[in-house]
Structures are given as structure tokens and as C-alpha cells.
Amino acid sequence: MQIESNSAVAIDYTLTDDQGTVIDSSQGGEPLWYLHGFDNIIPGLERELSGKSVGDRLQVSVAPADGYGERKEELQQEVSRDKFGDADDLQEGMQFQAQTDAGPMVFTIVGVSDEVVTVDGNHPLAGVPLNFDVTVKDIREATADEISHGHIHGPGGHHH
Ligand code: ZN
């Protein structure tokens, strides 16, 4: 069986940046299940997995445009600290969701001073070249329910 649209696929993966630092990995845990053809994973990786079989191992370098996008500097903004009310434990690295003209967005605090909080709406991996080492562990046909929901159910997937 080969990976194609509507395949439920389990992969082991390790993701590193160009310095070799591990960003994320399934090592030591369960494989990642995803539904092929539904943008469950980044496009640059999904494309390379098409046609692969169980046991295939691939190394894929994904440019930011095919990963989490390029950084948009305009998404980094300084916000008056007053806007955060009386919160006094604001720290770099904290994330929060805010309504914007483009809908809800997740922001990360990247700087805190007495007057101003600097927030960044970029995905933390925007602008980062990604290197995946992936092994295909399992492939099955997705169920009709999974296809209508656009994600995998059961072990390694959604429970609802
Ligand atoms: Zn579902």
C-alpha cells in the first residue's frame, strides 16, 4: 500500500533546524498519525510522502515557504503594557490568543519592559528551514468519518 490522498499514515519523525538542534521528535513516544491530503502536516513534507510505503525512510529539507511560512516583521508589535491589565507576571515566551482583523491569532511575548510588551504573531518556526528525518510506520485507508472530519480518529488521532 502506498501513501495517497485519504490514507491514514503513521510516521516516526525527527525535526531539526540547520544547526542540527532537535526541534521536535516522536522518538520515545508514539508515531504521529495524520490524514494524507488534508494539510494535517506542512505541505513540503506531505508532498514528499506521497507514494511512499511502510518502512520507507526519507530525509526532507523544507524551505520556510513550504513549512510555517516566512517571517512577517509587521506581525511583531509593541503594545502598551496597560493593555495587559494588572497582569504582573508577563514573561518572554508566554503565548496568548487575541482577536485581530484577520481572526484569532496566537501571539508570543518576545520582550517585556515597564512600559511596553513586544509581541510576535509569527509562528515560532516561521522563517526556519526545517529538516525532517521520517520513517513510514503504518498506512491504512481512512474511514468515511475521518475523511469528512479531515483528521484521524482513534489511537494517535482525535478522540471525540
Ligand atoms: Zn473527528
C-alpha of residue 87 to centroid of ligand 1, in Å = 36
Looking at residue 19, its pLDDT comes to 95
pLDDT value for 119? 95
Provide the pLDDT for residue 160.
86
How far, in Å, is the centroid of ligand 1 from the Cα of 122?
Answer: 28
Q: C-alpha grid cell for residue 30? A: 508514539
Instruction: Compute, in angstroms, the gap from residue 40 CA to the centroid of ligand 1.
Output: 13
Per the listing, cell 506521497 goes with: 50
So what's the pLDDT on residue 89?
84
What integer pLDDT is reported at residue 154 of this predicted model? 85
Distance (angstroms) between ligand 1 centre and the Cα of 129 equals 31
Looking at residue 156, its pLDDT comes to 75
Per-residue model confidence as pLDDT tens for the chain (160 residues):
999 999 999 999 999 999 999 999 999 999 999 999 999 999 999 999 999 999 999 999 999 999 999 999 999 999 999 888 877 788 999 998 988 888 888 999 999 998 999 999 999 899 999 999 999 999 999 999 999 999 999 877 888 8
Ligand 1 center from residue 39 Cα (angstroms) = 15
Mind giving me the DSSP string for 17-49? -TT--EEEE-TTSPPEEEETTTTSS-HHHHHHH
Burial grade of 52 (CB within 10 A; 0-12, 13-18, 19 or more): buried
8 Å CB contact between 75 and 121: yes
Give me ligand 1 centre to Cα 6, in Å: 14
151 Cα–ligand 1 center, Å: 6
Radius of gyration of the chain (CA): 19
For residue 15, give the C-alpha cell: 525535526
Distance 148 CA to ligand 1 centre (A): 8
At 106, the amino acid letter reads V
**CA distance linking residue 22 with residue 41, whole number of Å:** 18
**DSSP output for the chain:** ----TTEEEEEEEEEE-TT--EEEE-TTSPPEEEETTTTSS-HHHHHHHTT--TT-EEEEEE-GGGTT----GGGEEEEEGGGGTT-----TT-EEEEEETTEEEEEEEEEE-SSEEEEE-S-TTTT--EEEEEEEEEEEEPPHHHHHHTS-BSTTSB--
Domains and CATH numbers, the chain: 7-68+126-149 (3.10.50.40), 73-120 (2.40.10.330)
CA of 159 to the centre of ligand 1 (A): 7
How many angstroms is it from 81 CA to the middle of ligand 1?
Answer: 40
Contact 49, 40 (CB under 8 A): no
- Taking the centre of ligand 1 as the mean of its atom positions, its distance from the CA of residue 117, in whole angstroms, is 38
